[in-house]
Structure 1
Amino acid sequence: MDFQTLRNNCPTWNDYIEHDFVTQIAAGTLPKQSFQHYLKQDYLYLLHYTRVMALSVYKSDNLAQMRVGQAGINAMLDLEIGMYLDFCQQWDIPLAEVENTAESPATIAYTRYLLDAAMSGSLAELYAAIAPCLMGYGEIGQCLKAQGYVDNNPYQQWIDVFASDEFQAVTAQNEAHINSHFKDANPAQQAKFQRLFNTASRMEVNFWQMALDLS
């Protein structure tokens, strides 16, 4: 069992990677309000994702696994959340508005699902649940780069983050790490990983749709 097996057996993976939100980002036609809604909700999502990474430290069996979890926490707190706050500022969203934004139903459903999986399952199950987020943005960035860019795209900076060599390198490292947790799984565990992965992928689809619908 590995990430590619999970990906290839997920019925909603392409719906996630090729969602209308993503295609409109690539074309530069996404309504500003949808991107603003996405930024605010993703900020809230990332706070919960950081809590999931904290649980990965708790679930770890050894120091090396703990350090991977700690690195994930540091990446969220020191880099990615700050990047999204910078995007919010660039897109005319005051910090007070971001911090006082109510979670959408899609955000609540997705984050609580991840937290439940992290609290109730094994470390490998935790990684199966977060794998669509952990790996999907890298694939999206790679796909958009391969398609070629449109001129004067207001979302080019967002695309550039996930298409960058640095982000692609981190994605490859993440894949190797999560595969190390999946490789010795028995058939029952493999089935559980696939269910967790499939549900989280479906939640990613719903998250994009939430942004389009302003829901």
Structure 2
Amino acid sequence: MREHTGSNWHAYVNHTFVQQLAQGTLPITAFKHYLVQDYLFLTHFARAYALLVSKLRSVRHMRFATASLNATLDELPLHIHYCAQWGIDEKQLQTATEAFETIAYTRYVLDIGHAGDSLDLLSALLPCVAGYAEIGLTLLQRPDVQLERHPYAAWIHNYGDAAYLDGVKSALALTDELWRERGTESRFDEVSAIFTTATQLETRFWQMGLNAASEASA
């Protein structure tokens, strides 16, 4: 599915937001706006995982999805703590207005989940799950990314962290198992289209942060 996106995957994981973040030149306004919207995004992501649990049939698969749900819920207080370091308190996060990009992305994922089966929903969730891991690992391995005294070092480390990567591996393993159970050659184009759309929405989520910085400086 990643290869099936064509240039869309590259546009996502190599977006200007990511490149500026890697070099530590990303405007703080852009990053803070992203952090607030990412908190709102995570609340809907948790809802999507709860929906996934309800769509699975085997207890073993339910445990996989429940682990992802719990990991997302556990990430929320960590996100709140991290935001506090940037001067964003919990009340600001909980009362923030959702950006149109956040609404478009999260409601798309939930709509796919309600209308389709577990494989459809996982295809919509995977660009975020796997893409952040690819970004985190890539930035940690790039020699030009110097993390000492780097303003966004904690963010980069988080998505290259072993615990996060274990969750990604579980999501990929579950996808493979579901594909073996209910995937067919004729379905590949359908789930790949879902994966591609979610990838494009990820790209727009990055751009949202840059747009906020541009608007603030105008």
TM-score by length of 2: 0.92
**1:86-165 equivalent positions in 2, closer than 5 A:** 86-148=81-143, 149-150=145-146, 151-165=148-162
Which amino acid in structure 2 is aligned with residue 41 of structure 1? Q
Residue 13 of structure 2 is aligned to residue 17 of structure 1: yes
How far apart, CA to CA, are the structure 2 residues paired with 1:93 and 1:197? 32
Which residue in 2 is equivalent to 1:7? 2
Which residue in 1 is equivalent to 2:185? 187
Q: CA deviation at 1:182?
A: 2.1
Which amino acid in structure 2 is aligned with residue 81 of structure 1? L
TM-score by length of 1: 0.93
**Are the aligned partners of 2:11 and 2:203 in contact in 1 as well (CA < 8 Å)?**
yes
Paired residue for 1:52, among 48, 71, 74?
A: 48
Which amino acid in structure 2 is aligned with residue 208 of structure 1? W
How far apart, CA to CA, are the structure 2 residues paired with 1:140 and 1:57? 27
How far apart, CA to CA, are the structure 1 residues paired with 2:65 and 2:160? 24
Which amino acid in structure 2 is aligned with residue 57 of structure 1? V
How far apart, CA to CA, are the structure 2 residues paired with 1:183 and 1:112? 28
How far apart, CA to CA, are the structure 1 residues paired with 2:12 and 2:97? 24
**Are the aligned partners of 2:52 and 2:118 in contact in 1 as well (CA < 8 Å)?**
yes
Q: CA deviation at 1:173?
A: 2.6
Percent sequence identity over aligned pairs = 35
Q: Deviations over 1:87-136 (max 9, x none)?
A: 11010012111111100000000000000001110101110111101111
**1:193-204 equivalent positions in 2, closer than 5 A:** 193-204=191-202
Which amino acid in structure 2 is aligned with residue 153 of structure 1? H
Q: CA deviation at 1:72?
A: 1.5
How far apart, CA to CA, are the structure 1 residues paired with 2:73 and 2:86? 21
Which residue in 2 is equivalent to 1:74? 70
Q: Which runs of 5+ in 2 are unaligned?
A: none
Which residue in 2 is equivalent to 1:3? none
Q: CA deviation at 1:172?
A: 2.3
How far apart, CA to CA, are the structure 2 residues paired with 1:173 and 1:66? 12
How far apart, CA to CA, are the structure 1 residues paired with 2:107 and 2:25? 31
Residue 166 of structure 2 is aligned to residue 169 of structure 1: yes
> Structure 1 stretch 143-152 or stretch 94-103: which is displaced more?
143-152
**Are the aligned partners of 2:64 and 2:171 in contact in 1 as well (CA < 8 Å)?**
no
Q: CA deviation at 1:75?
A: 0.8
Which amino acid in structure 1 is aligned with residue 16 of structure 2? D
Q: Which runs of 5+ in 1 are unaligned?
A: 1-5
Q: CA deviation at 1:191?
A: 1.1
